[in-house]
């Protein structure tokens, strides 16, 4: 099965016109294995001791973005999150849900939202991204100290 995954990653890179380097293959495989968007740092951690350096990871990610393999899903606390572009169109990304309690982000690929309409004259939308925030099912079912306060406020009490 590992050989099949290797072959697919190589085929994806070659099909996008990119050379198959060890770093590119490992980063692409880390993104394929992820269930949600990852930061460059999270990709590095997923690759373990054989990971490329941080600059190389970000250069590869930017090259993947240029090739249309990956897109920047969103920013959180100044960190860009990347994911494979397979579940999205060029103009619209699937929605993401981030839990305010546990911090996990879930891809909502089963939902599609209409493109925004009626913007004031002069605005040109290149890409629409929607990020929802609240409580995931697991965190919503747990009792909380102060149910009405977001996680950051509940800690301060």
Q: What is the pLDDT of residues 49-99, one digit of tens each?
A: 888 899 999 999 999 999 988 888 777 777 888 888 876 766 667 777 878
Q: What is the pLDDT of residues 114-136, one digit of tens each?
A: 888 888 899 988 777 778 888 98
Higher pLDDT, 113 or 41: 41
Do 43 and 33 contact (CB within 8 A), yes or no?
A: no
Q: What is the pLDDT of residues 26-52, one digit of tens each?
A: 999 999 888 888 999 999 999 998 888
Rg over alpha carbons for the chain, rounded to the nearest Å, is 18
DSSP class of 18: -
Helix, strand, coil content of the chain in percent (nearest 5): 40, 15, 40
pLDDT exceeds cutoff 80 at 100: yes
In this structure, the strands spanning 131-134 and 96-99 are parallel
pLDDT exceeds cutoff 60 at 150: no
Task: Report pLDDT for 34.
Answer: 86
Q: Which domains does the chain have, with CATH numbers?
A: 1-87 (1.10.10.10), 88-145 (3.30.1490)
Structure pTM?
0.67
């Amino acid at each position: 099965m590992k050989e099949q995954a290797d072959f697919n990653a190589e085929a994806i890179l070659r099909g996008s016109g990119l050379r198959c380097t060890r770093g590119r293959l490992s980063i692409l495989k880390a993104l394929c294995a992820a269930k949600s968007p990852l930061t460059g740092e999270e990709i590095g951690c997923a690759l373990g001791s054989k990971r490329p350096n941080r600059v190389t990871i970000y250069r590869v990610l930017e090259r993947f973005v240029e090739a249309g393999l990956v897109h920047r899903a969103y920013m959180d606390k100044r960190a860009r999150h990347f994911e494979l572009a397979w579940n999205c169109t060029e103009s619209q990304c699937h929605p993401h849900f981030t839990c305010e309690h546990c911090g996990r982000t879930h891809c909502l690929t089963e939902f599609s939202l209409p493109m925004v309409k009626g913007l004031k004259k002069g605005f040109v939308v290149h890409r629409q991204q929607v990020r929802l925030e609240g409580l995931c099912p697991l965190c919503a079912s747990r009792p909380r100290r102060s149910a009405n306060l977001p996680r950051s406020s509940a800690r301060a009490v």
